[in-house]
Structure 1
Amino acid sequence: MNKAEAYSPASISFIFRKVEGINLLSTGSLGIGCTLNKGVTAIVEKAKKTKVLLNDKAVKLPTVEYACRKLIDQPIKINLYSSLPLGCGFGLSAASTLASLLAVNYLFGLGKNKLKVAEIAHISEIINHTGLGSVGTQMIGGFLLKKTPGIPFQFTRLRYAGKNIYATVMGKLETPTVLGNVKHTEMINQIADQVLNRINKDKSLTLEKIFDYSLDFVEKSGLLKNKDVISLIKIIKETGGHATMSILGNVVLSTIPLRYKAYPVYKLSISNDNLATCKNG
């Protein structure tokens, strides 16, 4: 076998609360997130020197490289393909890591199950400050209300699969700059506790309400700062739609499509997709 291929869905988060566990596996987040109908395909092959490419361009992805080194001490070439942009709140760091690990596992016949692969990916996300709960969401798939942090975790599945979400991408927001700020994280957690408490008491929860709860969260926690993101959210609400900010990215997530300036708009849908079986070549 010369190469192996695997797929992981992308994901978005609406609300998160960081939880420090007794170890890296129990560290993570509570909150709400879902997988999407788009994601990352990883094609891994043996090589003389380790190299990571995203859409055929060399890229530095420390989370991917760290995780793969934990699985195999051998140089590999990782080709990642995605139609979604990196660093914009689509969980591509987690998806790239999961897909790469599963392909490596298959290519070298390591025999690891998906839970073990997810554990390695999750630990790498925590160590590199690139995510808290995306790995878990992508491993399970669907629209999840996460009740416990880490891998594995407890959750409630909400039945919103198939509903469309429109993402207007305005720019990146580096996750480590947020997750590495202790004081800001404390504020985020306080607001998240308040909003999640309201959600847990809501007996008529809808996707539209989750957008509204999420907007309240990003506004009060200080995550929503970009002027264009703020302006578009206001316009969407005035038009009768519901919108929030992607976590973490300068991206507007909305229930209706609305062009704003020259920013690209991605039509996405909530899926039940999860980490996929490999192909070999």
Structure 2
Amino acid sequence: MKNFVRAFAPANISLLFKVMPHDDPAKMGSLGCGFTVNEGVTVEVSIANKPAIIFNGKPIELPTVTTVANKLTRTVLVIHIQSHLPLGSGFGISGASALATAYAANQLLSLNRSNLELAKLAHTAEVENKTGLGDVINQYYGGFFVKFVTSSQFVAEPIPISDIPVYCISYGKLLTSSILNNPGAIAKINHAADTGLFQIKQLLSKSTISLSQIFTIAKQFANDSSLLTSSRIMNTMKGIETRGGHTTMIMLGEGIVADIPFDGATKLTISTAKASVLA
């Protein structure tokens, strides 16, 4: 048995979403649209005497990852997570960490679970801890997807956009749980999402679909759902659009993604790389 196993899972940027509630966390999920990128998390899992989760060198409480580890095994694990992207800022780092942890622990302990089983476990842990609803399915498949079926079923329709640079900035955290615990907010989000998903379905029926078209739909969703309220984000968006770019809010985070560079932005690339165990 190896002393440790490492796994990778990509970050995911969600552009719009609709909450699909269910009493069973394994069946709760979301509809929506988003894509994975070239950056993400690398997780190293090893057996230890005392459990710990270390994020970029610092001990951290990460309940979603703890839930995954506890559901997989009673073996005490130390989980080291490395990422260039921040937690709690709309990049799906919680889901990526949970998924990569599941893959690495499964390999380390020879648990013989399938990747789909592990992905569903990570998805359920996200729902239970209110850290996400639809990131893990994208991270499992890798790429640009729209979901017209609840994410818990792991059915997604690919959108033929990849290997294109995007530019992101995060101004801080936006707690997913604060939204998921607010029925009034969810009702408004879901109504706006219905419109956005209908528009994306129409685009998919045509011969071509562009990132700028999807960003335009997503920004309308951000406005109509009342999730876009930050004057700082709106001012940055205005500057991008003045220069001919397209931009929208990252869901759910205090940040934006655009198709042209802007001051302070991090360059990422839309990628089809999926979660995997590293050699």
Counterpart-to-counterpart distance in 2, 1:164 and 1:105: 33
Does the 8 Å contact 1:178/1:185 carry over to 2? yes
Counterpart-to-counterpart distance in 1, 2:94 and 2:115: 17
What is the CA distance between 1:30 and its match in structure 2? 0.7
Does the 8 Å contact 1:25/1:150 carry over to 2? no
Counterpart-to-counterpart distance in 2, 1:238 and 1:265: 17
Three-state SS of the structure 2 residue aligned to 1:5 is strand
What is the CA distance between 1:177 and its match in structure 2? 0.8
Give the corresponding residue for 2:273.
273
Q: Matches of residues 58-207 of structure 1 in structure 2 within 5 Å?
A: 58-202=59-203, 203=206, 204-207=208-211
TM-score (norm 2): 0.95
Deviations 1:125-154 (A, max 9, x none): 001010001010100111001121133332
Give the corresponding residue for 2:56.
55
Deviations 1:221-258 (A, max 9, x none): 01111111110001111110001110011111000111
What is the CA distance between 1:22 and its match in structure 2? 6.3
Amino acid at match of 2:238: K
Give the corresponding residue for 2:7.
6
Deviates more, 1:63-72 or 1:141-150: 141-150
Does the 8 Å contact 1:95/1:138 carry over to 2? yes
Three-state SS of the structure 1 residue aligned to 2:150 is coil
Give the corresponding residue for 1:33.
34
State, as a whole percentage, how many aligned pairs show the same letter: 36
Counterpart-to-counterpart distance in 2, 1:278 and 1:113: 16
Give the corresponding residue for 1:217.
221
TM-score (norm 1): 0.95
Unmatched 5+ stretches in structure 2? none
Give the corresponding residue for 1:233.
237
Three-state SS of the structure 2 residue aligned to 1:8 is strand
Amino acid at match of 2:267: K
Counterpart-to-counterpart distance in 2, 1:58 and 1:118: 25
Amino acid at match of 1:277: V
Amino acid at match of 2:13: I
Counterpart-to-counterpart distance in 2, 1:209 and 1:248: 20
Unmatched 5+ stretches in structure 1? none
How many residue pairs end up in the alignment? 275
Amino acid at match of 1:266: T
Amino acid at match of 2:261: P
Amino acid at match of 2:94: S
Give the corresponding residue for 2:248.
244
Counterpart-to-counterpart distance in 2, 1:226 and 1:12: 19
CA RMSD of aligned residues (A): 1.2
Query: Would you say 1:255 and 2:259 are equivalent positions?
Result: yes
Three-state SS of the structure 2 residue aligned to 1:198 is helix
Counterpart-to-counterpart distance in 1, 2:265 and 2:102: 30
Deviates more, 1:176-185 or 1:87-96: 176-185
